[in-house]
Structure formats: C-alpha cells, structure tokens
Chain A
Amino acid sequence: MAIAKILLVDDEVPFVDTMIKRLTKRGMEVIPAYNGTEALAKLKDQARIEVVILDVKMPGMDGIETLTEIKKAYPLVEVIMLTGHATVESAIDGMKKGAFDYLMKPSDIETLVSKVAEAAAKKRRHEEKIIEAQMREITTRRT
C-alpha cells in the first residue's frame, strides 16, 4: 500500500505533472486536478483520498474556496496549502479554516513528503479513534 493517497490541485499543468512523478517515486499515490471544481469531482469519485495538496492562487474557484468546500463535504480529509510569498496571509486564513499546514512554493520535496506523511498519519489516527469509539459504543450496547 502507498504511504498516502494524495490529490494534487494546481492550475500549472507542468508543475502538477512533475510533482506526480516525484511523489509517485517516493511511494505515494497521486491524483491530479487542475482547478477547484475538478478537485471536488475527483474527491467524490475517489473515496480513499487522504491528503489534498492545494494551491492557494488559482483562477476560477481559488484555494480558500476549494478548501471550504472540501472541509464541508469531507471533514476528515487533511489539506496542505501551497502558497507563494504574496499569499501567505491566505494560507494562514486557510489554516484557520481547517487546513493541516502550509508550504511555501517552491518547497523542498522531502519536507513536502514528511508533511504529507504526518497529515496522512493524523488522518489515520483520527479514523482509528472514530472506529474505536464506534466499537466501544457497540460493546456497551451489548453489555
């Protein structure tokens, strides 16, 4: 199994393409999306996506809007914001809206991988806790 299943959202096609290659090489499963709407559609199709890497500045539906929609529909999916210097403020805004972390573009690939791993781990822990809670509920019901 891959370290994590990732959705990479950015409007720069060459960027997305190269990133997919590099992340795949590091044992991740990456699905591309080139704008916010596409990202939401992909999330709907691919149920097992754990982490979304999201560019803040995009034409059309921008990063923050996309984040809001993702968190609304899939609260357990972790989102890492990618930002240029000029939009750090939006990244902070994104953190407040529930993003896991943010990274400055261009970022070191290893940092990105470790952040993704952390995010994936957090998500899994989160899910485990939920399962645990559900199980406890079932057990208490039995007794």
Chain B
Amino acid sequence: MKKHVRYAGGFVVLAVLMAVMLYWNVNTGSVHLSLKRIAQLLRFGNDGSLEGNILWKIRLSRMLGTVVLGGGLSIAGFLLQTFFKNPIAGPFVLGISSGSRLFVGFFMLATAPIAMGNFSPYAIFIAAFAGALLSMALVLAVSSRVQNLAMLLVIGMMIGYICDAGTNFMITFAESNQLRNFTIWSMGSFSGITWPTLAATAVITLPTVAVVFFLSKPLEAYLLGENYAKSMGVNIRNFRLALIILSSVLAACVVAFAGPISFVGIAVPHITRLLFKTSRPMVLIPATFLTGGVFCLLCDLIARTAFAPVELSISTVTSVLGAPVVIWLMIKRRKGA
C-alpha cells in the first residue's frame, strides 16, 4: 500500500510540474500572455490578434510537440536500457540517432531541388526510421560478438561517428542553398514543430508508447534476464524484435522532427526511477513519458530564453543537464560493483 501512495504522489508531482512548465513555456517570450487571455484564446480559437497568432501558430504546437517528442525519446531510452541491460544505453549513445540523421540528411539533400523546402513529415520519418533500424542492426550484429557493456557503448559511439562523417561529407559537397533547411534541422530544435508535424508526431509516437505500455508484463519479466523471462513463458525472439522496432520508431520520430537530441534518452528514465523508487515498467512507462515531457519543456525553455533573442540548439541544453547525470550513474555503478 505504501508503494501505491508513492506512485500516486509521483504522478501528482509530475502533473503539477507539467502544468507549471506548460504555463511557463506558453508565457515566456517577447509577448506576455496572461492566464485569462490564454484561457480566452484556447476557448475561442485564434482571434487574429498578435497574441492569438503567437499562441496558436508558434507556441502551442511547439509545446505539445516538445512534450510528445521528449516523452517518446525517453521511452526509447528506457527500452534500450532494458534491452541491453545497460544503464547508459540510449538512442544517441548507441549511434541510432546518428544513423537517422544520416538518412534524413541524405533524403533532404537529395530531394531538395524537387521539394523546395517542403518535405512531407512522414517521408522524413521513414528516412529516419530506416537509418535508425540500420544502425541498430549494426550495433546488434557487433554486440552479439562482444558480451561486454563498455564495448557495446564504444561500438555505438563509433557507429555514430561513422554516420556523422557521412552526414558531414554530404554537407561539404552540398550546394549552399540546399543546406539551409538541413543545417537548421540538424542543429536539433523543437522550433520547427508546426501543426502538421505535431500531428505526424502524435500519430507515430502515442500509439507506439501505448504498445510499449502493453508490453509492461514481459518487460518486467525481462528484468530478471533473458533466460528467466524465457522460462516464464516470454517469447524472447518476438519480444526482442518488438523492442528493437519500437525503440527505433520512437528515436527516429524524434530525429525526424526535432533533430538529434542527446542525453534525454539516458537521463530521463533514471530520474524517473529515482523519483518513483521502482523498476516496475507498468509504473515507469507512463512516468518516464511524463518526466521526459517535463524535462524537454524545461530544456526548451532554457534554450529559448537563456540567450534571447538568440536561440540555443536543444542539445546544448540537454547535454549540460544530462551529462552530469550520466557521470553520476557511472560513479554509482562503480561503487555498486
């Protein structure tokens, strides 16, 4: 019973934080919006005023996109950590994000003359997904040969570097007018999220997260290790395949619409575990999603306001906040071993 109180408390804290961050985000910027004005605009729609345009055309879609993508990215990290039994696994560390970036880059630069800057969000996602799956396959192929956590991360990083080299190669030889879109995107930012991309994000991410939630039971069994999970009746082959596809979908979706974002995938699941003091996937999955949303709202807020009017790339902020978490985890792990 004590546990349920803790879980409920955790979700209340997250809900409050989410509300605070949403209000703070919607209100921060060159134009101030009062609570009353926001309520009015939300209720009656865009009335064509400056405030209405800012809320409906810029801030609202960006905020919601941030929540969905931040949550999705965190869940991807959670899945990869479970899959590899490695506390610092995440889409960025394992080179999955870089693989996506390479493919999106190739797609954007190759189709730039035809698309004239208008890319279908779904097409970008498919390119990103293909890239994610390919680098995931590479990581898996190599990791089946080395049963070592540290080696896995080194391999992931190397694959990441190779993909980045490919991306940079394309940038070097691309024409400058094609580059603008790509450069902005590849910096990583939630600023590009519009209503159509938000729709695509939600359509891809939310059902995927729901499927992950439905896998809570095998995920919990998997915590005891693959062999125990198998002995309890988990179909390991299908389950592993599901984990790979789901985490790739989530990671790819983020890369497609916000660019590569570092450290969120690693840090957020751990922050959530600390907050809820449990490893039960049934609790952690929704909690991680919410924490990811809150965390990214905070990071986006800092990115927008720290050096306003200049906006920082989102990874600048997530790295500064997330990297210490990883260092702390490594130290804690060393102590535990």
Do A and B come from the same complex? Answer: no
Seen from chain A, the residues whose Cβ lies within 8 Å of a Cβ on chain B are: none
Listed in ascending order, the chain B residues whose CB lies under 8 Å from chain A are none
